[in-house]
Structure 1
Amino acid sequence: MTNHRITGIGFLSLTALLTACGNQSESGESVEEIVNQSQEAMHELESYAVEMNMTQHMGMGEDSEDAMVIHSESFMDITLDPMTFKQEMVMDLSEMGGLAGNDADETEMSYLSYFHEEDGLFVEDPAMGTWMKFPESYLDDVLAMSDMQMNPQEQLQFLEQYMTELSLEEDEDYYHITLITEDIQMEELMEALQGLDADAPGLEGMDELFGMMELKELDYSITIAKDTYYQTEGTMNMIMAMDMMGQNITTEQKTHMIMSQFNDIEPVNIPQDVLDNAEEIDDMHGVPGM
């Protein structure tokens, strides 16, 4: 979840610029106290909406012409009791030459996903217009892989592990907390950020892959509203490098997340035609976004 921090700064007045920097707020709260209060507030949430924008740039060596670039944006309505969500995902593949296979726009792929704790997980096939249902045996792994996107409390718990490496800034309405990274192991980071368990079915060997990666840069920040202690925004810039068969591969990922509509979302009901017509899949190969 990540950083377009400079993009919108022209829209801010000078009085909205950050007024304090350090590990304690103007009111005397420490960054640890702010994060703990936010954890408590987020734990009490019943529902919220998330808008996420992500750009991933992968290049080999110094030849930028061969780089792959994927832009995606998603919109999610989430309830926690019962656990439900609806997600709309749009991926722009124009800088990859257009691989979506969508008649309306060959450079864009979009699809819907539904989840209800009683019915399961359903994902639209953007190429065929049909629906897939994940078997129950995969649900725990699939949900764990997206847990950081769906559970803001988990994000705050991740930050809490590195409390000594946090910086605090604030304006009139918000706290802005940034994670300063040093001495964070790649395997630990990837498990924390993406909820990955390298020993989970289908993910065997991922720990070895993570061990080959070098974390070049990580800028992770969250914005917390002063009046509610809700997390309203998150940003992350991450640059990783690895050597594969003599080729240096660099991946840069930028993500920006906005959270809103706290406690205003009703439980998501999966449309009856999706329930009736979805075909249960045997594995996750070919599933968009997996």
Structure 2
Amino acid sequence: MKKWTIICAAGILAFVLSACGQTAVPKENPLTGKKEEVVVKSELTAGEVMKKANAAAETQQSMHSDMEILQTLEMGDEKQEITSTIDMDMILEPLAMRQTMNMQVGGEEMAIEQYMTEEGFFMKDPQSGRWVKLPNDMYKEVTGQMAGVTESPVDFSMYKEYAKDFIFEETHDEYVLTLEGSGEKFSGLMKEMLGKNMPAGTDEAMLEETDMKVEKINLQFSIDKKTFFTKDFDMDMIMTMDEQGQKIKVTQNVTGTMTKINEIDEIKIPKEIIDNAQKMDSGINQQ
């Protein structure tokens, strides 16, 4: 089940919304049941909003993000629950990151802290509490992967068949795009997106051998009306996978917010970490 934990985690941010043709309708307030008051109604279509959001994303050089992930994996009588929170600052060029991730798996807790800048890739060993400096080629490898993601334009043709499934709403200051669906066509989307976002070294042929069915997918993005930056997202998903006779059910909820967009100018690794980190050539637990 461990490999599916890796693959499902890799697919958390793998979705891009498609372009729809209708203009937005006022969003209903879930607390009052009434439509939100929109002072100036937008004349943009969902497709135009997404094109502008995509263009805005290309100007995004830094951000802070907070995520919460609730995941349940079931295989036969075995059941594994995973809860994760991620607090991250990131700069794209040159790639730099500060991240704190707290995970709870089967009642056991683990905290992972890491820094990654041109000075190196540093990670705090969750077991010993010591900081270690990972091999320099790991920074180069991650930088190369991120460059491929950030430089590739969004291929909207890949999502045309889902256009009619999107709900397009607006509030006074946000556009809200929602996808709710299930069935075979979403299984194909899920498999394709997971294939493009699997971690380096993962066996891609494993996806081809897997019978994947999406029982439920609810995805919502909020986009700022002024900047067209994506502000937050909420994803609920239930899917089942059959790999060589082994059936796995995955239930997952992911929420995330993005703030401080283009406001982070520098990520510095504390001097005490650089001075005291143990260099590692072949793994974090090396003595």
Query: Do they fold alike, i.e. is TM over 0.5?
Result: yes
1:97 maps to 107
Paired residues, number: 252
Segments of structure 1 that go 5 or more residues without pairing to the other structure are 3-8, 20-24, 99-107
Cα 1:247–1:239 change in 2 (3 A) is same
Segments of structure 2 that go 5 or more residues without pairing to the other structure are 1-11, 14-27
2:100 to 81, 88, 97: 88
TM-score calculated relative to the size of structure 2? 0.73
CA distance in 2, matches of 1:146, 1:249: 30
- The answer as to 2:88 corresponding to 1:76 is yes
For the 8 Å contact 1:132–1:278, the answer to whether it is kept is: yes
CA distance in 2, matches of 1:86, 1:173: 30
Cα 1:36–1:47 change in 2 (3 A) is same
- The answer as to 2:192 corresponding to 1:188 is yes
Deviations 1:165-215 (A, max 9, x none): 1422222221112346625354412034xx237xx5x32x23324531403
Cα 1:67–1:260 change in 2 (3 A) is same
- Report 1:50-199 matches (<5 A): 50-61=65-76, 63=77, 66-93=78-105, 96-98=106-108, 108-116=109-117, 118-139=118-139, 141-142=141-142, 157=154, 161-166=158-163, 167=166, 168-179=168-179, 182=185, 184-192=188-196, 195-196=197-198
- Determine helix, strand or coil for the equivalent of 1:34: helix
TM-score calculated relative to the size of structure 1? 0.72
- Determine helix, strand or coil for the equivalent of 1:275: helix
| Residue type at the aligned position of 1:258 | T
| Residue type at the aligned position of 2:217 | L
CA distance in 1, matches of 2:70, 2:144: 22
| Residue type at the aligned position of 2:48 | E
For the 8 Å contact 1:145–1:196, the answer to whether it is kept is: no
- What displacement does 1:35 show? 1.0
For the 8 Å contact 1:186–1:213, the answer to whether it is kept is: no
Cα 1:232–1:210 change in 2 (3 A) is farther
| Residue type at the aligned position of 2:176 | H
- What displacement does 1:126 show? 1.1
1:222 maps to 221
Deviations 1:207-237 (A, max 9, x none): 3245314031333332101121111002222
Q: Percent identity?
A: 27
- The answer as to 2:53 corresponding to 1:38 is yes
Deviations 1:24-79 (A, max 9, x none): x9533122211111122222223211000001101123x4xx41101010111122
- Determine helix, strand or coil for the equivalent of 2:97: strand
